[in-house]
Amino acid sequence: MKNNSFPTTFSVMRAVGWVSLLDIVRDKVLYNFILVAGLLFGVGYLASRLTAVNPERVVLDFGLSAVMVSCTLIAVFTGSGLMSRELERRTIHMALSRPITKAQFVLGKFLGLAGAIALNWLLLVGVYLGILLLTTLRTDTVTPILLWALVLILFQSWVVASLSIFFSSFSTTSITVIFSAGLYLIGTNISQLRVLATHAETGFARLTLKIIAAILPNLEYFNLGTKVTYGLPVSPAFLAVSLGYALVLIAFLLLCAGLLIHWREV
């Protein structure tokens, strides 16, 4: 006879993720970042009205920036307190007193945060595409490249969220915010770091910068940049590599977070 007294890993992760998602929505965190994105949308729309040449480019750039900023802010600030708050308040003991492993708890927390980011992303993308169609009055402005750019922003936000959970597994909320935001800023400028390495005066500095650029997460995989603005093609291989890189990086960071939580005295 099969023993059903212990829940499956998927059911535990789903339950923890659902509770985490409800907590994030209940804290009204999404409203603040949606407001920030709404302000950027408004600025972009007004700027497009004042531009005589190619107003859709202004809306494209401002819209993508608004979606990226809002999702990244949720990933950094909400993710930074997601684990550290449980550890500091010792509420993690209540969850682990049930048949839940520490790894399942970490994965469930990430699923809840990823769901909150995806919900925010869906709302902003709907508003963004509506403003874009209203501004240009043409359906051809919503290109496959634009849709892929939005998808990559979502995956980038999930990577940043896994970074926040990783850091919050062993540090405080404020330190996690600093680390996560810092790695985000560096990761979106890895090419500039490599250029700086080529112009370094000493061999040691050049080698150090190259090692840093190779080790740190390269978030430039998720930024199509001017390809969206000018409608330039993107190869399927690049998209496949970007998505695969995101999944591998997320899995690695969550694995490290789970190991760190497992080794801690909680």
* In the chain, where the domains are located: 9-188+223-263
Task: Check if the beta carbon of residue 100 is closer than 8 Å to that of residue 31.
Answer: no
Task: Check if the beta carbon of residue 176 is closer than 8 Å to that of residue 259.
Answer: no
Listed residue (79, 243, 235) closest to 155, CA to CA: 243
The DSSP code for 90 is T
Q: Calculate mean pLDDT across residues 136-142.
A: 73
pLDDT confidence of residue 90: 60
Q: Which structure tokens are listed for 69?
A: 């900023």
Q: Which structure tokens are listed for 37?
A: 């994105």
| pTM greater than 0.75 | yes
Which residue spans within 134-213 are E strands per DSSP? none
> Between 263 and 79, where is the model more confident?
79
Q: What share of the chain is helix, strand, coil (3-state, %, to 5)?
A: 80, 0, 20
Q: Which structure tokens are listed for 65?
A: 């920036």
pLDDT confidence of residue 1: 40
Q: Which structure tokens are listed for 97?
A: 């007193």
Instruction: Return d(Cα 49, Cα 47) in angstroms, integer.
Output: 5
Least confident interval from 20-34, 38-52, 100-114 = 38-52
pLDDT confidence of residue 182: 93
The DSSP code for 232 is -
| Average pLDDT of the residues of the chain | 81
Listed residue (111, 92, 105, 106) closest to 257, CA to CA: 106
Is pLDDT at 180 greater than 90 in this prediction? yes
Instruction: Return d(Cα 45, Cα 148) in angstroms, integer.
Output: 22
- Residue owning tokens 């007294």: 5
